[in-house]
Amino acid sequence: MRGHLLRIFGLGFGLAVVIGGVVGSGIMRNPSVVAAGFPNAAWILLAWLGGGLFVAIDAMPTVELGAAIPLAGGPIAIITRAVGPRSGFLIGWADWCQLTVSTGFITVAFGEYVHRLGLMPGLTTGQIAIALVLACGLVNWIGARAGGESQNIGTALKAVGLVVLVGALFFAHGGSAEPGPPPPAFSWVAAAVALRAIYGAYGGWQAAIYFSEEVDAPERNVARATFMGIALIATLYLLVNAAVLHVLPIGALTHSTLAAADAAKVVLGDASSAIVTALAILCVATLANIQIMELSRTTFAMARGGFLPPRLAVVSQSGTPRAALMTGLVAIGLIILAADSVKGQLYEILLDLYAPFVMIILLSFSLAAIRLRRTEPDLPRPWKMPLFPLPALLSVALNLILLALFLVSDWKTGIWSAALLACAMPLYWLGKVRWKEKAAPG
């Protein structure tokens, strides 16, 4: 089979990829950052709730486009339709880069968590990370259904684990936390950092659009999965923060690097470290799996559009674009090897390299939604954003501000990101000359 994916996923899978693509280390680490910016329990909960509401608004342009243009690969197909192939490939390349680099570092974190449990001491963190990449690759090689089911199961276990942790923090008997230092005074700088941490913790909510071509009734289920997923994530985040605040005073919370683990230690004792680390391992593993699935679909879409070798647009009978999957696994492996062996300055550069790409991609979605309303007013839009163009304009403003803040605060990494993004142009012309005419039909 060539150029066609299988429409075998339902709403449950859509929810699994949204929740599984968002819930990870952010909710484990970021409560302390948010508490430092909003040193009051009510403010903290309102900030997390506000973050969820804003992400829902930020999602509106993307959902409108994803439901109207249900093609695999997410950004590249949508931006190509709205602006043209050159811009589409540029955004697709940015998406491919951010997925590759971030998956590399997610899996390295997996290796660190495994070592924290005392497992596989004879392997480096990078070797353990590569083992996770290969395991996820094997599951997805078997078929799209196997990859989807593994994501459904992993996300369900992750959600149950977090709910159990919340219940333990609220109801388990144990010691009480030390009063700790007094809460810090409010400052606008700390509040801005806290808002950025919240926004980052919600990152990944757009996962459903990568599978628009494989989800039943995408005109309905892309919107349902995205907004229901965001609502469930916001609820889970509020519960986790409320539970942590139930155990830790705000002054102690602001000095915690892993708030959930510190709170669990108070009520569960020394055994809590292993429990929370095991939960973190599960969170990271499911996140790695969904990103590898997204990366294979992005590579597939780029090849189907004629930007990469046609071989990468071939789909197996089981619904997996296997050549695209293997290409992604190799790229991720190279990133892991670099992170595991070099460390130092290169490690830090690679760690932050993908950050501006996410902002550029979300910015492009909002601009594309505005443009398509003008250029294709008759395009069927099963889900239309309310109060157009206000949600799109708010999304544009936020992502421009975040991009500017990133470039000002870390301009050296911004230069590396710009250089990597610039590599799209020779690749685009190469594809236009060598592969465009051989592209599989859309």
DSSP state at residue 314: B
Residue-level pLDDT at 345: 53
Residue-level pLDDT at 255: 83
Residue-level pLDDT at 441: 47
DSSP state at residue 439: P
Question: What DSSP string describes 201-251?
Answer: HTTTGGGGGGGTTTBSSHHHHHHHHHHHHHHHHHHHHHHHHHHHHHHS-HH
Q: Return the amino acid letter for 41.
A: A
**pLDDT tens for each residue of the chain, 442 residues long:** 455 799 999 999 999 999 998 987 678 778 988 999 999 999 999 999 999 999 999 999 999 999 999 999 889 999 999 999 999 999 999 999 989 988 887 888 888 889 888 899 999 888 999 999 999 999 999 999 999 999 999 999 989 999 998 998 888 755 555 666 777 888 888 888 888 789 888 988 999 999 999 999 999 999 999 999 999 999 999 999 999 999 888 888 888 877 888 888 888 887 787 888 888 888 889 999 999 999 999 999 999 988 889 899 999 999 999 999 999 999 998 888 877 776 555 545 555 667 788 889 999 999 999 999 999 999 999 999 999 999 999 999 988 988 887 777 777 777 878 888 888 888 888 777 777 655 544 4
* Residue 149, CA distances (Å) to 12, 30, 82, 142, 220 in order: 10, 29, 33, 12, 21
Q: Return the amino acid letter for 123.
A: L
Q: How far apart are CA 303 and CA 85, in angstroms?
A: 12
Please name every residue paired with 9 in a beta bridge, in sequence order, or none if there are none: 215
Our CA angle for 54, 59, 62, nearest 5°, is 155
Residue-level pLDDT at 389: 95
* Residue 153, CA distances (Å) to 12, 16, 99, 138, 315 in order: 11, 8, 22, 16, 24
Residue-level pLDDT at 396: 94
CB count in 10 Å sphere of residue 344: 7
Residue-level pLDDT at 90: 93
Residue-level pLDDT at 330: 92
3-state secondary structure of 9: strand
The structural domains of the chain, ordered by start, are: 11-377+384-435 (1.20.1740.10)
The stretches of 257-321 forming alpha helices (DSSP H) are 259-268, 272-304
Please name every residue paired with 215 in a beta bridge, in sequence order, or none if there are none: 9
Place of tokens 């830790």: 248
Nearest to 11 by CA among 148, 142, 139: 148
